[in-house]
Amino acid sequence: MNFTRPHEECGVFGVYNHPEASNLTYLGLYALQHRGQESCGIVSSDGTSLHAHKRMGLVADVFGNQEVFKKLPGKSAIGHVRYSTAGASVEKNVQPIMVDYSRGSIAVAHNGNLVNAQLLKAELEAYGSIFQTTMDTEIIIHLLAISHTNSLVDRIVDALNRIKGAYCLLFLTETRMIAVRDPNGFRPLCLGRLGDAWVVASESCALDLIEAEFVREIEPGEMIVCTKDGNLKSLFPFKKVEPTPCIFEFVYFARPDSYIFGKNVYLARKELGRQLAREHGVDADIVIPVPDSGVPAAMGYAEESGISFEMGLIRNHYVGRTFIEPAQAIRHFGVKIKLNPVREILKGKRVVVIDDSIVRGTTSRKIVKMVRNAGAKEVHMRISSPPTSYPCYYGIDTPNRKELISSSHTLSEICRYITADSLGYLSEEGLVNSVGLENTGFCKACFAGTYPVAFPKPVLKPQMGLFGEEYSENE
């Protein structure tokens, strides 16, 4: 795959006890489309059985026909939008996963990534499990099914105590909806209320669309159980650890109008830009963002530096997920179809270009050349995050380390490669201070290479583990 920037992970949304549960879930997924554009699905419950509709494609395309919702009856539903962080991008991997087992039917939607998935899958297969997908999410279903505990809550807890990594999960049965966030709290998850209905979403912007009240964020390590009597139970069944929410959610992934980890994303991104101007100021005439993710940071940079803010690059918002690229007809076709420079604004100017990150450097190089070809006298690239030097294993699709330009090149080498007059990254300290959440130990693995959850390493002769085997952890 030709990576140019980190890709979104996934988004989950659920409604419990509302007569239009499926329709509301559709709207919720629409608001979370930025978290995954490959596939989407909804599973509903009518109180006695589960019903599903899921396909490859965007939310508006998969659920564009109103007839679909007649096949999704009931007062409860969960939905999922996906970008493949684990498992291929194919029809069989579309979530939510729905299965029948000895205790009835259950569906699960997952945002995140399990770091011990391969080990668990190998052990499950060794004891006869047959997998229908290539997703780590299916491992959770198998673990739940083989649990020797009695209640559904205990089975879920038992299963989740055996996995390691990042997960925000929504489970749906005929009568219950259960939401769980991993003890580290890598990914955001929030709780809302709409009349007598409970709503769970990856981001608060999805609650806004359906006019649900934002109640609170679901805590790291918390399990929320919605039952048929309309009550809500909060449990903390896992061993407590120091939360490490993903700081890159503030840099790029979350929507600017969302409230995550106790902070509004838009305000945080503006402060990233202000701090970037303090750390890497430059004499220039205009500040322009790489839209859309670079806009708030560019506004903050302009305000702090006193340099005029301009939209020097215009984004085509109607570009589909795929398009046919002519072999030689148009150079840099991929960037040009998404961005177009405003020559009248750029001509003869010293330009500061603000972007959220540099991954391989190929896109930044094309953007710098585009701005220069439009008549800019100087092009200064500023990045509102530290260099991305390490891959993420907690639910973000980033390249291998060797494909990350900052892992093997100095600042001056990257600057020369992207053909900019100067280059400046926001410091780690500046990033954390800009977010402004005290006593929060963010996950900064993509910048620092320090991973909060260890990676399991199988030993040669396992003795005690999932089924009596033993494994050690590669710290």
Summarize the annotated binding site for Mg(2+) as residue ranges: 293, 355-356
Establish whether the linkage from the previous residue to 188 is cis, with ω within 30° of 0: no
- 266, 175, 261: which is closest to 218 by C-alpha? 261
Binding residues: 246, 293, 355-356, 392, 443, 446
Q: Are 43 and 37 within 8 A, CB to CB?
A: no
> What is the helix (H) or strand (E) element at residue 271, kind and residue range?
helix 265-279
How many residues are given for the chain?
A: 475
> What is the helix (H) or strand (E) element at residue 108, kind and residue range?
strand 104-114
248: helix, coil or strand? helix
Quick one: tokens of 371? 């701005």
Catalytic residue among 10, 40, 190, 205: 10
Sign of the CA dihedral 67, 45, 208, 195? positive
- 291, 242, 243, 293: which is closest to 268 by C-alpha? 293
Residue 395 half-sphere exposure toward CB, CA atoms < 13 A: 32
The backbone torsions φ and ψ at residue 149, rounded to the nearest 5 degrees and listed phi first, read -80, 170
Q: Are 225 and 235 within 8 A, CB to CB?
A: yes
Query: What is the DSSP-derived secondary structure letter of residue 251?
Result: I
190 is catalytic: no
Residues with a catalytic annotation lie at 10
